Amino acid sequence: QLQLQESGPGLVKPSEALSLTCTVSGGSISSTTYYWGWIRQSPWKGLEWLANIYYSGRTYYNLSLKSRLTIFADTSKNQFSLRLSSVTAADTAVYYCARQVLYDNSGSPGYFDLWGRGTLVTVSS
Amino acid sequence: DIQMTQSPSTLSASVGDRVAITCRASQSIDTWLAWYQQKPGKAPKLLIYKASSLESGVPSRFSGGGSGTEFTLTISSLQPDDFAIYYCQQYYNYWTFGQGTKVDVK
C-alpha cells in the first residue's frame, strides 16, 4: 500500500523559506500514471492547492503563489519537495502531500487519491 | 480561477437521514469534480471522482451527481462514521476546493 509522509520544520521565522519533503513508500514517484502534489489547509483559506510535479519534471504552480514556490523531485530517494520563500503568518497551515491521478488521455492531473497525514507549519518569530 | 461554492456550510442530521450537499462552480467544469471527506486531525479522503464515480472501498451509500456547474453529494442513510466535513474539488482548470460542509449531529 503506497504511503506518503511529510517532513519539515514545524516552525519557520517570517521572511525565511519553508522547505518540506514528501517521502513516498510502497510505490514509485517515477510512475507515468500520477502527478505528485502539495496542498495546504488553513482556517482562513481552507484547502489550497499549491503545486504538483510529474516524473518528467513537468510542473504546475498556483498562480497566486508562483513567485514564491518551487517544487522538485529526487527520484533516487523517491521524494518530492516544496520550497516556499518569504513566508509570513498567512502561510501558517497544515501542509499535505498527495498523489494526483491522471484523468484523461491527455495526461492531465486530476483528483487526489492518496494523501499524507499532513504537517503543521507555523510561521512566527 | 474557478470558484467552488458549497451549500449549506453546516448540515445537522440524524443517523439514518438522507443527506445532500451541493457544490456550484463559477463556470462549467463538465464532470471534472471530486468529493472528499475529512475528519478532525486527518487528511481528506477521496469519496467520488468524475462527479459520480465511487472510489474503491467507499460505501455505496455515498453517491454523486451533476454536471456543468451544479453538483450534489448524497448520503442515502447517514451512519455514525459519516459525521465529518465534506469538500468538493474541481480539476477542469487547475485545482480548487470548496469551502467545506460540516455534517454534524442534530
pLDDT tens profile B66-97: 999 999 999 999 999 999 999 999 999 999 99
Reported as half-sphere exposure (CB side, CA atoms, 13 A), residue A92 has a value of 12
pLDDT tens profile B25-61: 999 999 999 999 999 999 999 999 999 999 999 999 9
Q: Which of A45, A42, A51, A48 is nearest to A20 (CA)?
A: A51
- Rounded to 5 degrees, φ, ψ at B54 are -80, 125
Per-residue confidence of chain A (125 residues) as pLDDT tens digits? 999 999 999 999 999 999 999 999 999 999 999 999 999 999 999 999 999 999 999 999 999 999 999 999 999 999 999 999 999 999 999 999 999 999 877 789 999 999 999 999 999 99
In the prediction, which pLDDT does B87 show? 98
The cell for A77 is 530517494
Using a CB-CB cut-off of 8 Å, the residues of chain A touching B89 are 47, 111-112
Q: How far is B91 from chain A (nearest CA, A)?
A: 5
CB proximity A101 to B under 8 Å: yes
The answer to whether residues B73 and B33 touch, using CB atoms and an 8 Å cutoff, is no
CB proximity A109 to B under 8 Å: yes
Q: Which helix (H) or strand (E) holds B104?
A: strand B101-105
Q: Which amino acid would we find at residue B45? A: K
Q: Which amino acid would we find at residue A20? A: L
Using a CB-CB cut-off of 8 Å, the residues of chain B touching A110 are 32, 34, 49, 91
Which residue from B43, B95, B99 is facing A116, i.e. has the nearest CB?
B43
Interface of B with A (CB under 8 A): 1, 32, 34, 36, 42-46, 49-50, 55, 87, 89, 91, 94-100
Distance between CA atoms of A70 and A56, rounded to whole angstroms?
A: 16
